[in-house]
Copies of this chain bind each other. A is one copy, B any other.
Amino acid sequence: MGVRTPKQFCRVLERPLISYTLQAMERVCWIKDIVVTVTGENMEAMRSIIQRYGHKRISLAEAGATRHRSIFNGLKALAEDQPDSKLTKPEVVIIHDAVRPFVEEDILLRVVLAAKEHGAAGAIRPLVSTVVSPSADGHLDHSLDRAKHRASEMPQAFLFDVIYEAYQQCSDFDLEFGTECLQLALKYCHRKAKLVEGSPDLWKVTYKQDLCAAEAMIKEKISQEICVVTNTKDEESVGHLLEEVLRNELNCIKVASSDSQETRKLLSILEESSLPLLYPIVVVLVHCFDFTSVPLAQRMESLVWIRELAKKVKGRNILLSGLLLNYSQDEWKLQESLEQSAAIIAALVKERNSALAGQLLVA
C-alpha cells in the first residue's frame, strides 16, 4: 500500500488518523458508547492515543483476524451476555471504519433512523470506475452496468439484535472471507438494508494519496475554524485593513489588537487549553510601521523576543511567527504590503509547517 503503519495509526499533522475519526464520533452527543477493536500488538498504542487526546466514551475490544471477526468482537463487547462488560446493549449500533475521519452527524443520523425503520442501513456512493468481472485466465468476462450498482461505504447502522443475530448465525466462511455487513443482515435475518446516499467525504483512507488528501482536507477545515492574528496597538487602523484583505484568503479570521503583554497572556491561555493537543495552532504577530522611518534591521532586532517565545511555545504545538508590515504613507505600497501580508498569513495558517515557526517575515 506504500504505507507501512496500519493506516488508522498514520499521523496527520502529527496526530494519528484514528483520533480524528474518534473526535468525529464524540462530537455526536447521542452516541453513547464507542467500541474500538484493536489488535493485541496495538492495544497499548491505542490506550495511549485515547489518553493523550482525551477521548471519552471509548471501550476497547480485541480485533479478530478478519474484518468480520473484529466487528463480531466489538458487538460481543456491547451484548448484555458479557459478564465483565460495563457497556449496556444498545437499540441501534453504528459500524464505521477508523480510516473514514470525515463522517458527519447528518449521515450518521440518517443511517440510524433508517436502521430503526428497516433493521439495517448503509451509506452508498456512485461508482467512480466501472466494475468488471474477470475470467479465471484474467480476461474480461463481463462488465457491470455502472448505473445499476453503487459502492457500499460506511457508516452502516443496524438494530443491535438484528446484526448480533446475523453474526451469531453466520458461517466460518462468511467470517473469514466476507466483507459486507449488510449482506449478513440480509442472508441471516432477511433484512433488506436501506441504502442511504452519502457525500464524497465518506471516502476511505486506503492509499498514500488518500493520506495526502486527508491531511490537505484537515488543514483546510481547521483553517476555517480558528486562527488568531494579533496586531500591535501601534496602528489600529491597519488591523481593519488587513482583516479585509485576509478575507480573500481565509474564512472566519479575527484580527485582534494587543501589546506584547496581552500576547503573552493569550499564548498562556492557548498553552493551557486542550486546543494545541488536537492541531498545531498558528499565531502571527503583525508589527506595522513605516519602513522608511525605522531601519528594518533595527526593528527586527527589537523583535528578537518573538523568536525566543516561539521556541518556547513550539513544544506545546503553537506555531508563532512575526510579520513586519510596511505601513507606508504611499497608498499603493501599503496595499501591496497588505496583500503580501495576507498571502503570508494564509500560507502559515494553511500549511501549519512547524519548521517555519519562529521566523520574522517581512511584507
List chain A positions with a Cβ less than 8 A from chain B: 1-2, 118, 120, 122, 124-125, 127-135, 138-144, 146-153, 177, 179-180, 182-183, 186, 192-195, 200-201, 203-204, 206-210, 212-217, 220, 295-298, 300-301, 304, 307, 340, 343-344, 346-347, 351, 353-356, 359-362
Q: Across the interface, name the chain B residue whose C-beta is closest to A295.
A: B301
Main secondary structure of the interface of A (DSSP, over half): mixed
Whether the pair B209, A203 counts as a contact (CB closer than 8 A) is yes
Question: Which of chain B's residues have a CB closer than 8 A to the CB of A296?
Answer: 300-301, 304
Interface residue from B182, B200, B213 paired with A1 (Cβ < 8 Å): B200
A-B contact pairs, 19 of them (CB 8 A): A127-B131, A130-B180, A131-B131, A132-B180, A132-B182, A135-B192, A141-B192, A143-B182, A200-B208, A203-B207, A209-B210, A209-B214, A212-B212, A213-B213, A216-B216, A300-B300, A347-B351, A347-B355, A356-B361
Q: How far is the CA of A120 from the CA of B343 in the complex (A)?
A: 50
Whether the pair B362, A356 counts as a contact (CB closer than 8 A) is no
A33 to chain B, nearest CB (A): 26
A129 to chain B, nearest CB (A): 4
A177 to chain B, nearest CB (A): 7
